[in-house]
Every structure is written in C-alpha cells, then in structure tokens.
Amino acid sequence: MRIAVTGAFGFSGKYIAQRLLALQHEVITLTNSPQRPNPFGGLIKAFPYNFSEPHELEKSLRGIDALINTYWVRFDNPPHFTFAQALANSNVLLDAAKRAGVSRVVHISITRAHSVGFESGGFS
C-alpha cells in the first residue's frame, strides 16, 4: 500500500512510519518542515502541507491508499497556532484527500498529554 503519514519526522508520526516501512509499505509524509533532516533517508519523500494551496495538497495525495493523520496543535498560541486554524487545516487536508481518491483515513488525536502520567495515578 501507499500510505501518507502526516508528521513522519515528528514524535508520533516517526514511530508509525517506522512500523509501516517494516511492513514494506510505501510511505510519504506531509509536513510543515520539509527541510527538516529526514531520519529515513530516501525511504520517505516529504511534501509540504500546502494548506493555502489545496490543489497542491491534493496532488501530493494522488495515488495514496491511506492517510494517517497525526496533525494537531498542542497549545492555542495566537497568532502562530490556534485550535481554530488546526481545525480549518484538518478540513482542507481531509477534503484534499477525498478529491485525491484516498480511500482510508486514520485520524489520531492527542489530548491533555501534559496531565497524563503514571506518577499521578493514571488518567484525569
């Protein structure tokens, strides 16, 4: 399968991409940091998110069978990152995936990561 993993150079996406490569899937990534060093060498090709150019985002997703979306904003930090903008960007991404013919989407959402810990007795 050809699979797109958002943020494959980041924490969550890196482990997902490693596993997919071990299973011999073809993997690409969408990222805000295409210039970041690629820990996978030439095994994963990086494409920019291009939220402001949805047709370019759609082009990056053509031929992809599944999208694993780890895109999120940890803190609402206007004007740089806001939850509202993350939601709008996610909608652009999902619309582009639909137009590109991506048949499966897995969305991973990480919430309240700062308040979860074993020392505190579990989840709050």
- Is residue 54, in this structure, part of any structural domain at all? yes
CATH of the domain at 64: 3.40.50.720
Question: HEC profile for the chain?
Answer: CEEEEECCCCHHHHHHHHHHHHCCCEEEEEECCCCCCCCCHHHEEEEECCCCCHHHHHHHHCCCCEEEECCCCCCCECCCECHHHHHHHHHHHHHHHHHHCCCEEEECCCCCHHHCEHHHCECC
113-124 average pLDDT score: 44
Which residue range is the domain that position 11 belongs to?
2-74+97-111
- The percent of residues above 90 in pLDDT, for the chain, comes to 53
Per-residue pLDDT at 43: 95
- Is residue 119, in this structure, part of any structural domain at all? no
- Is residue 20, in this structure, part of any structural domain at all? yes
- Is residue 106, in this structure, part of any structural domain at all? yes
- The percent of residues above 70 in pLDDT, for the chain, comes to 81
Domain count, the chain: 1
Whether the per-residue pLDDT at 102 is higher than 50: the answer is: yes
- Is residue 122, in this structure, part of any structural domain at all? no
- Is residue 47, in this structure, part of any structural domain at all? yes
User: pLDDT (tens digit, 9 = 90+) per residue, 2-56?
Assistant: 999 998 988 888 999 999 999 999 999 998 887 888 889 889 999 998 899 999 9
- Is residue 91, in this structure, part of any structural domain at all? no
Per-residue pLDDT at 46: 94
- Is residue 116, in this structure, part of any structural domain at all? no
Confidence band of 108 (pLDDT split at 50, 70, 90): confident
| Greater pLDDT, 38 or 100 | 100
Per-residue pLDDT at 37: 85
